[in-house]
Structure 1
Amino acid sequence: MSKWSQFFIKNTGLGPYVWVVFYILPFYFIFRSSSPYEIALGIGLILLFFACYVMAFVSKKGWLVFFWTSVQILVSIVMTVLFGYVYFSLFLAFFIGNLQNRVAFFTFYTIHLISTIVTVNVGFATKNPVFITQLPFVLVCLIGVVLLPVSTYNKNRQDKLEGQLENANKRISELVKLEERQRIARDLHDTLGQKLSLIGLKTDLAGKLIDLDARQARAELDDIRQTARTALKEVREMVTSMRGDRVEDELYRVRQILKAAEIELRLEGDPTHLDTSLMIENVLSMCLKEAVTNVVRHSKASVCTIAFRPSRTELVLRVSDNGVGIAKNTVRGNGLRGMRERLEFVNGSFDIESVHGTTVVIRVPNMPKPPEKEEIRA
């Protein structure tokens, strides 16, 4: 809702200045009067209306807008009754249409409409000859008083909404770019983090074996070279096509890194028959990668258990170890934060338990694949 101090749109165009040109018209009605006092009064009213019209546009305080507009309405009533000049009501109609505040608009619109209708009826009731001779113009003026404020107000409101919509679209575009950057950063972190951890472990192992078993050391170096090539390939594929990974493909890499870290893998459940959508499976594989990477880096465990427990409504993945438990700096790390963001995207969640080791419980909604895709895969 607009503040009371924001009564007008920021740009009213040339409209106010065009209307000022028509201030010459009331002098024709005033000089028809034979009384010099009435002429002086009429000129004073015109100058007062002009001053109030300008002050109302430049005023920034809510109560000043009320005051100057009320004076304009009073001047319009007096000019209509004394001189038969009803056209000030059109000035007010345009002015009221540019009010930005909804309450102020409807308040002044109602007061102005009622006052104009009453004063015109008074003019006809007193059989003012000026009203009789300009009857068609008076009717046009009444139509303008009814329609002009509403059309102006709606047009200004539409322009404002279009501006807000344009700003919202720009904001959405910026947020989409930001989310895409964050997603790429998470994927790079998870992909490179696992591969670099594997390279580090194999490098340490090769360093220990170089004097004891040269053949095995060369084999480890070959594995390091292959792992580096695989990491480079995955990064290129991820950046170019952002492909999704299957859980069973991720398990193959999990076995490699756990074997290199001399951690025993115990698998429970069948990862090849998860019966879920590719998007859910992709999120699950990335979370599995991060969970296992944390086991290798921080747990100092000898056994890692991965359990898949699907149900009708959700799929539960448990990654547990018999290590020292999770550390506080790990909980606050980028990896688990990225895991949480991915799971929130698919309405999933995860919990961490640190009793006799660490257990990461990942829950995602079970979204079965369409039947035709199942038949193609079979």
Structure 2
Amino acid sequence: MQKWSQLFYKNTGLNPYVWLVFFILPFYYISQYSQLWTMVTGIIIILVFFVCYLLAFITKGWQVYMWIGLLIAISITMTIAYDYAYFSLFLAFFIGNIKNKAGFFTLYSVNLGASFLTVNYGFINQSSLLLSQFPFVFISLMASILLPISTYNKNKREQLEGQLESANKRLDDLVKMEERQRIARDLHDTLGQKLSLIGLKTDLAKRLLRKNPDQAIIELNELRQTASTALKEVREMVTTMRGTQLVDEMFRAEQILKAASIEFILQGNPKLQDTSQLNENVLGMCLKEAVTNIVKHSQATRCIIEIEETPSHNVLTVNDNGIGMERTRKQDRRGTGILGMKERLEFVNGCMDIRSGAGTQGTSLIIHVPKLVRKPIKEAEE
């Protein structure tokens, strides 16, 4: 079970004041009876129900099912003895938050069957209160059917999104670790031997400096040539060092969207030509952030990604058919990462255009990143 103090707003979207009305309603209902012992007995039963309800939230394991069984029994008693059929709403909400699949469907079936049987029993016995409240009883029964399924599916989706996000983080960590190991191997292979050679030649030049100055000068020239060669190799390695490529990020984006049951459509070739590695990295990070926002906030069913290359820019368009940017901002107070994307793009003189609302379905992000092809600076030859 989740922490009970966070369930009302997070999982149902209902205002806490609405739940307060539901808590007060049974006491008001019992107060309508004229006989004192009937009122006292009803109030005691209601208090026992809410105490058991609280205990069901704070306990774990088999005790949860014990308390729910007692709650169902109290709900049946209140429906038969007092014609109050609305405790099933509390049970429907609680059962929807049970994570165990077998436990959920078992309790869901028991609560639904008990609610239908007791309500029909009241109708057969011509209960005047139940008959007068037929529209509200019918709504309560429909809520008992739909609310647990809706809450269970929503919790399941949030759990899957959390697992997906955790898996993506672990994947990123593994990629970073592998990249660090590769860089370490390249640096060792490139510099290790030459630095050792530089050390040996330095010692040799020091010994020859007095005995054979001409040979010492030759060794120093070779030492300088070795250092220049090492510097050139390091520059070439850094220049050609592989970073995050757009084609790899596109593959990960397709996996994430398909896992979220969002249709993925790619238009254009993600293998960019004549583009600096830094700018391609920025483009890949922006794509990653945009896809993450679509999965988390947009409620979209389709995502279209377009890639267009011009002589001076790469244009990436990410379009979804979700609820739009304005509603996304209202639902997520923490923001959707747009500011971070703009900061990355400003670093490489790129820009982003957002189109959402005003009759536009979903949201479109149009990202422009310059190619800025630069050649590595060559070592000056003497």
Question: Is the shorter-chain TM-score for this pair beyond 0.5, marking a shared fold?
Answer: yes
Taking the aligned partners of 1:69 and 1:193, their CA distance within structure 2 comes to 69
Residue in 2 that maps onto 1:361: none
Deviation at 1:200, TM superposition (A): 4.4
TM-score normalised by L of structure 1: 0.55
Residue in 2 that maps onto 1:63: 62
Letter paired with 1:83: Y
215-224 or 67-76, larger mean C-alpha shift: 215-224
Taking the aligned partners of 1:28 and 1:124, their CA distance within structure 2 comes to 22
Equivalent pairs: percent with the same residue?
Answer: 56
Letter paired with 1:38: T
Letter paired with 2:193: Q
Once the two structures are superposed, what CA deviation does each residue of 1:194-236 show, in whole Å capped at 9, x if it has no partner?
A: 2123334555666787788765554343222111111112122
Residue in 1 that maps onto 2:363: none
Are 1:8 and 2:17 counterparts? no
Residue in 2 that maps onto 1:224: 223
Kindly name which structure, 1 or 2, has the bigger radius of gyration based on alpha carbons.
Answer: 1
Letter paired with 2:234: V
Superposed, which structure 2 residues align to 1:101-120 within 5 Å? 101-120=100-119
Taking the aligned partners of 1:16 and 1:92, their CA distance within structure 2 comes to 18
**2:7 match: secondary structure:** coil
Asked if the contact 1:29–1:84 (Cα under 8 Å) also holds between the matched residues in 2, the reply is no
Residue in 2 that maps onto 1:100: 99
Taking the aligned partners of 2:45 and 2:167, their CA distance within structure 1 comes to 46
Taking the aligned partners of 2:150 and 2:228, their CA distance within structure 1 comes to 67
Taking the aligned partners of 1:176 and 1:9, their CA distance within structure 2 comes to 35
Superposed, which structure 2 residues align to 1:77-226 within 5 Å? 77-200=76-199, 202=201, 215=214, 217-226=216-225
Taking the aligned partners of 1:188 and 1:63, their CA distance within structure 2 comes to 58
Taking the aligned partners of 2:29 and 2:211, their CA distance within structure 1 comes to 116
Are 1:41 and 2:41 counterparts? yes
Superposed CA RMSD in Å reads: 2.8
Taking the aligned partners of 2:3 and 2:100, their CA distance within structure 1 comes to 9
Long gaps (5+) in structure 1:
1-6, 244-378
Taking the aligned partners of 2:126 and 2:66, their CA distance within structure 1 comes to 32
Once the two structures are superposed, what CA deviation does each residue of 1:50-69 show, in whole Å capped at 9, x if it has no partner?
A: 11112222x23323222221
Taking the aligned partners of 2:37 and 2:134, their CA distance within structure 1 comes to 27
Asked if the contact 1:206–1:221 (Cα under 8 Å) also holds between the matched residues in 2, the reply is yes
214-223 or 76-85, larger mean C-alpha shift: 214-223
Residue in 1 that maps onto 2:279: none
Residue in 2 that maps onto 1:345: none
Taking the aligned partners of 1:20 and 1:55, their CA distance within structure 2 comes to 18
Taking the aligned partners of 1:28 and 1:12, their CA distance within structure 2 comes to 25
Taking the aligned partners of 1:13 and 1:169, their CA distance within structure 2 comes to 29
Q: CA, structure 1 residues 127+13, in 2 after alignment: closer, same or farther (shift >3 Å)?
A: closer
Residue in 1 that maps onto 2:51: 51
Letter paired with 2:69: S
Q: CA, structure 1 residues 26+13, in 2 after alignment: closer, same or farther (shift >3 Å)?
A: closer
Once the two structures are superposed, what CA deviation does each residue of 1:322-371 show, in whole Å capped at 9, x if it has no partner?
A: xxxxxxxxxxxxxxxxxxxxxxxxxxxxxxxxxxxxxxxxxxxxxxxxxx
207-216 or 30-39, larger mean C-alpha shift: 207-216
Asked if the contact 1:9–1:99 (Cα under 8 Å) also holds between the matched residues in 2, the reply is no
TM-score normalised by L of structure 2: 0.55
Long gaps (5+) in structure 2:
243-382
**1:86 match: secondary structure:** coil
